[in-house]
A and B are shown apart, each in its own frame.
Chain A
Amino acid sequence: MSFRSLAEALRDTATQVITFLRVERGLGKVKIEEELVRGLPKPTLQANTSEGEIVCVEFSETDCYPQSLARLAEDFKAAELPVKIFIALPSTAQNATFMTDLARARRQGIGVMVVEPAGSVTVLDEPISQLLTQLRRIDMPSYPPKLRARLSQAQATFLSGSPPKGCSELYDLLEEVTRKIVAAAIARSFWNGAAPTFNVATENWHNVCSAAYAKMQFNQIGTLSPQIWANVLAITRHRNETGHSPTTIERRKRRDLEMRTRFEHAADVLRDVIQNTKGFRW
């Protein structure tokens, strides 16, 4: 298959990008102007990764965020595909709005690569899977300032293409906060019956939360309710689920959608816990 839609002036650039994808990214089969989803525009280049993602590359003479690219990204988002989109430009591209466009592309998770006439490719920005870009962003002002840096880091990790690691970083934070709440409740005897014999700091997180759910005096701890705590308890079940990396597009899609839901849910639970323990020093 050869180029039919792409402008003639960009075909050399596209050929250089194909070489880059093969040599630098190990993507063996790069398809040219082939259908990805019925009824949606054909990506100029596309290749499947061994991790079940699809890398697409579009080309422009001048803009790193042309309108057609914005539309394509929207289409792929709507189709819920684990697609990473690059826009590739020749290094001779000149555009007064380049930086503004670059920022727009970054916000939409579009990767940007610049191709020198001699063939070398420089990646200015790595793309984010369009499936992940739909992640509802964490509303930072809802959290205490001391937690925001780590929340931000967890979100960045998630968006950079490691959803399980991003979730794990967020769970770490939730675990720390909830262990401190339980320790404070035990120290102040807001506990029904005898104090637990386990070490709150080292005992399995699920066991700690489970014991707290049964014995902690929620009416002493701000407005924290057993319902909110039940949400924490539910999260502890998949705390250490790492699972295998998905190898097919369908598995990847399922996994990423699940991770997106988990991440958003964990962030909401953390916010609820923090907001409902106001006035209770932990």
Chain B
Amino acid sequence: MLKIDAGNAKLRQIPVEEIDRNPENPRIFFRQSELDTLQESIRQHGIQVPISVFQKGNQYILIDGERRWRCALKLNLKTIPALVQPEPDALTNVLLMFNIHALREQWDLLTIAMKLPSVLSLLAEELGKSPTEAEISNRTGLNRSVIRRCKLLIELPAKYREMLSAELKKPKTQQILSEDFFIEMERSLRTIERVLPGFLKNKNECRDILISKYKSETIKDLIDLRYLPKIAKAEQVGVSRSKAVRALEKLFSDNNYSLEMAFEDTVADAYSEKTLVSKIWAVCERLDELTPTTIDEELSKALTTLRKQIRVLLGRAQ
């Protein structure tokens, strides 16, 4: 639980110029268009919801409401309504940021990810051990899948984190690379490393190729990255490992060779068959539940057609 008593907070009008941003606020990007929209709203209706701050010396440090404060600065307001809370300890301060912002706003995942290591370290200090995912989730309010996705982003080499960070600063409409792209790419490359050890000799080079293909639309959809683990695990669906390796080599050397093509050239048929088999088993299970009295005319006609097709197919197979 967070160790802060909001009940002791006092609502006051405080000078805008005496407020500083909270260095622990993980939200590092504010888009101008969002600020402009809020600015217009404040200009017309004023600040309806007080910001939250704590006092540190002669200054106030923001807990909640950085966008409102920045708009107030721009609009040249002299004071701003604020709930002045007692100063939290370091861990509570960071956790407050997560609880207040991450649950309420659409934060960029990278923003959360970049701050997560300091949360982990402060939590470890408090608990005397590395926190579990459940403990992190409980204290930050983030669900476990978000935490896992954050970890993938934190572990990206600095060059790619910077690339993503630069992309996220752009307006949404101009962004090409997204956090989801990097997460899908990392998951896929990790599968390749696990299934085909030694294949990825230069992982950064492979990352660069995938990024370049995505930018040039040779990879049309980031979901296509999910073909990579399927190709790598070709043996599991009865396709030879060497065929998979050849396709992956071509993928990382031929600029025009897409993931979809690599999938078609290797395991597409096998997966298609696998899908068909699983559907057939699902139909069989459903048929087991039927009795002759529950078969109506339409179902009877469909089953007759199916029987004919099965006979023909099995006859050919024999």
Contact = CB atoms under 8 A, between A and B. Distances in A.
Interface in A184-224: none
A68 B73 contact: no
Contacts of B304: none
B135 to A, nearest CB: 32
Interface string A57-98: 001111100111001000000000000000000001010000
A7 B74 contact: no
Interface stretch (A23-31, A32-40, A155-163, A236-244): A32-40
Interface in B4-32: 21, 28-32
A80 to B, nearest CB: 18
A5 B76 contact: no
Contact of A8 (B29, B36, B75): B29
Listed residue (B21, B40, B171, B173) with the most chain A CB atoms within 10 angstroms of its CB: B171
A5 B35 contact: yes
A41 interface: yes
A9 interface: yes
B174 A41 contact: no
A6 B32 contact: yes
A252 interface: no
Question: Chain A contact residues: over half helix, strand or loop, or mixed?
Answer: loop
A51 B261 CA distance: 66
Interface residues of A, number: 25
A249 interface: no
B76 A68 contact: no
B305 to A, nearest CB: 52
A42 interface: yes
Given A5-B70, A71-B40, A71-B43, A39 B76 contact: yes
B170 interface: yes
A62 B171 CA distance: 8
B28 A8 contact: yes
A257 B46 CA distance: 33
A10 to B, nearest CB: 6
Nearest to A68: B36
B33 A62 contact: yes
B173 A62 contact: yes
B174 A68 contact: no
A63 B37 CA distance: 13
A275 B33 CA distance: 51
Contacts of A7: 29-32, 35
A68 B21 CA distance: 23
A40 B39 CA distance: 13
Interface in A133-168: none
B9 to A, nearest CB: 24
B33 A66 contact: yes
A107 interface: no
B165 to A, nearest CB: 10
Nearest to B75: A41
A281 interface: no
A33 B31 contact: no
A146 B181 CA distance: 65
Contacts of A68: 36, 39-40
A9 B31 CA distance: 7
B76 A40 contact: yes
Nearest to A4: B73
B169 A5 contact: no
B71 interface: yes
A82 to B, nearest CB: 19
Contacts of B174: 62, 92, 94
A41 B76 contact: yes
A111 to B, nearest CB: 18
Given A5-B71, A61-B33, A35 B40 contact: no
Contact of A94 (B21, B30, B33, B173): B173
Contacts of A66: 33, 36
Contacts of A41: 39, 74-76
A8 B170 CA distance: 10
Nearest to B17: A4
B76 A61 contact: no
A39 B79 CA distance: 12
B170 A92 contact: yes
Contacts of A8: 28-30, 169
A10 B39 CA distance: 17
Interface in B64-117: 70-71, 73-76
A71 B74 CA distance: 13
A10 B170 CA distance: 9
Nearest to A11: B169
Interface of A: 4-10, 33, 35, 38-42, 59-63, 66-68, 71, 92, 94
30 contacts: A5-B35, A7-B32, A7-B35, A8-B29, A8-B30, A9-B32, A9-B169, A9-B170, A10-B32, A33-B73, A38-B76, A39-B76, A40-B76, A41-B39, A41-B74, A41-B75, A42-B74, A42-B76, A60-B33, A61-B31, A61-B33, A61-B171, A62-B174, A67-B36, A67-B40, A68-B39, A92-B170, A92-B174, A94-B173, A94-B174
Q: 7 nearest interchain CB pairs?
A: A9-B169, A7-B32, A5-B74, A68-B36, A5-B70, A61-B171, A5-B73
Given A7-B35, A61-B32, A94-B173, 10 more contacts: A7-B31, A8-B30, A9-B32, A61-B31, A61-B33, A66-B33, A67-B40, A68-B36, A68-B40, A71-B40
